[in-house]
Structure 1
Amino acid sequence: MEQNTPAATHARKGYPGRGEAERILAEAEPLNPGPWGDHSRTAAHCAEKIALYAGLDPDKAYVLGLLHDIGRRFGKRHLGHVSDGYTYMMSLGYEDAARICLTHSFNDKRMESYVGSFDTSEEETRLIREKLQEAVYDDYDLLIQLCDSISGAEGVMDIIDRMGDVKRRYGFYDPDKWNRNLELKAYFEEKMGKDLYEAVEKDTFTPGAG
């Protein structure tokens, strides 16, 4: 007989509840200490705030933002964190969260635009490529892509500053990916009828505060 537990209910929805998502992240951080945890909290905050103004589910947006980088629990990998996160979330039955672990890194659906090392096995690379080809992006995919591009470990960043920081660290930022992020900013500002940075409380939000 199928158990009707909160976790089972959320698994059917494709993502965990807020409390479970926060537990998953808190459990993961000590396994690979670094700024990615607070980066994820900032992304979750931004996703929730944008969702409130854009007619999306704020709880779903928050959880997907919180877990988009959960593959980093398995170590310091670049492209590998994408396949690690996808596989981990699928193992827990959270299909929507798994999808975001994959799609957040590819706002133009091209593996070639990934910023970082291609440190995946042939099997992992094939998994990412196949799932990208299958994916039909919805507003949650686009939302987390945008939030990833404005979220720092210490709070919300200007999108140009954030992309510039990534470019300095890796020595490259695909111009199509750069331009697509700016298109996503404009897309969600139109949906919200509001300035992006005002919506996400750029000047006041600090991850972990409150």
Structure 2
Amino acid sequence: MERNQNGRKYPSMEEAKAALAEAALRNPGNWVPHSEYTAMACKAIAERCENLDAEKSFVLGLLHDIGRYVGVVKEKHQIAGYQYCMERGWEDAARICLTHSHPTQVVSANFQNWDIPYTDCEFLRHFVEETTFDDYDRLIQLCDCLAMPYGFCIIEKRFVDVGLRYGVSDHSIIAWRKVIELKKYFEKETSCSIYQLLPGIFDNL
């Protein structure tokens, strides 16, 4: 594993943008602008939080789905993104590739429909459940639910969008409640409605 020359565990904004652009050439799709809007939401919220770095937040948001460079996949994008970032010494970004889809920190043991080997399923489950989430994990989990390919959206609209594409389970409802908790948490941190920080969001109701 290579280590960044600057000692950071995540790339610069320029490196992250270049990585996403290269990934988009390999697998173009709605996931690319979704990643860009996720990053912009992360930056906007982080700028109002004393304990978050806005540039780091942008970069981690931009790369959360980078594993989709491998093609049209489901859970595989988490493992592929983790491996991609670890190969480049981007440990913080690699972590986000695994944690962003699991706000409840509970990974289902029902792996039959997952598109990764059982060993990867177990690695993902142990990683997520044994990691102590910080505010970067929480921020990307929230902002992932604030971004559509065409702009920012209220979280309930994102819930419906994902539910229509992938289906809804009992765990989905638990995860949605957790994201609503994250929204309230960051509204306390920013002292405002997070929707006020996202330009054009009410045009997408």
Normalising by structure 2, we get a TM-score of 0.91
> Among the aligned pairs, what percent are the same residue?
39
For residue 205 of structure 1, report the CA deviation from its aligned partner.
Answer: 9.6
Is structure 2 residue 5 aligned with structure 1 residue 8? Answer: yes
Could you give the per-residue CA deviations for residues 77-113 of structure 1, whole angstroms, max 9, x where no partner exists?
1011001101110011100000000000000111129
Given that 1:106 and 1:113 are in contact with CA atoms closer than 8 Å, whether structure 2 keeps it comes out as: no
Residue of 117, 122, 141 corresponding to 1:121: 117
By how many angstroms is 1:201 displaced?
Answer: 2.0
Question: What RMSD, in angstroms, separates the aligned Cα atoms of the two structures?
Answer: 2.1
Asked if residue 37 in structure 1 is aligned to residue 35 in structure 2, the reply is no
**Is the CA contact 1:83–1:124 (under 8 Å) kept in the aligned structure 2?**
yes
Pick from 134, 137, 160: which aligns with 1:138?
134
Q: Which amino acid in structure 2 is aligned with residue 186 of structure 1?
A: K
CA 126–113 in structure 1, closer or farther in 2 if over 3 Å, else same: closer
Spell out, residue by residue over 1:39-60, the C-alpha distance to the aligned partner (whole angstroms, 9 max, x if none). Answer: 0000000000000011210000
- Report the residue type matching 1:167 in the other structure: G
Aligned 1:77-92 pairs, distance under 5 A: 77-92=73-88
Q: 1:47/1:164 Cα in 2 relative to 1: closer, same or farther (>3 Å)?
A: same
Distance, in Å, in 2 between the alignment partners of 1:182 and 1:146 is: 8
Aligned mate of 2:198, from 184, 197, 200: 200
| Partner SS, residue 148 of structure 2 | coil
**Residue equivalent to 1:99:** 95
Q: 1:179 matched to which residue of 2?
A: 177
Worse-superposed segment, 195-204 or 180-189: 195-204
Amino acid at match of 2:37: T
TM-superposed CA distance for 1:33, in Å, is 1.2
**Aligned 8 A contact 1:83 1:127 in 2:** no
1:194, 1:93 → 2: CA distance?
A: 35
- The residue type paired with residue 165 of structure 1 is D
Find the aligned partners of 1:109 and 1:90 in 2 and give their Cα distance: 21
4+ aligned runs moved over 6 Å, structure 1: none
Distance 1:65 1:147 in 2: 8
Instruction: Find out whether 1:52 has 2:50 as its counterpart.
Output: no
Residue 165 of structure 2 corresponds to residue 169 of structure 1: yes
Residues 54 and 41 of structure 1: CA distance in aligned 2, closer, same or farther (over 3 Å): same
What's the CA shift for 1:151? 0.6
Matched positions, count: 198
Instruction: Select between 62-71 and 121-130 the one with higher mean Cα deviation.
Output: 121-130
| Partner SS state of residue 54, structure 1 | coil
Counterpart of 2:63 in structure 1 is 67
CA distance in 2: counterparts of 1:203 and 1:74, whole angstroms: 30
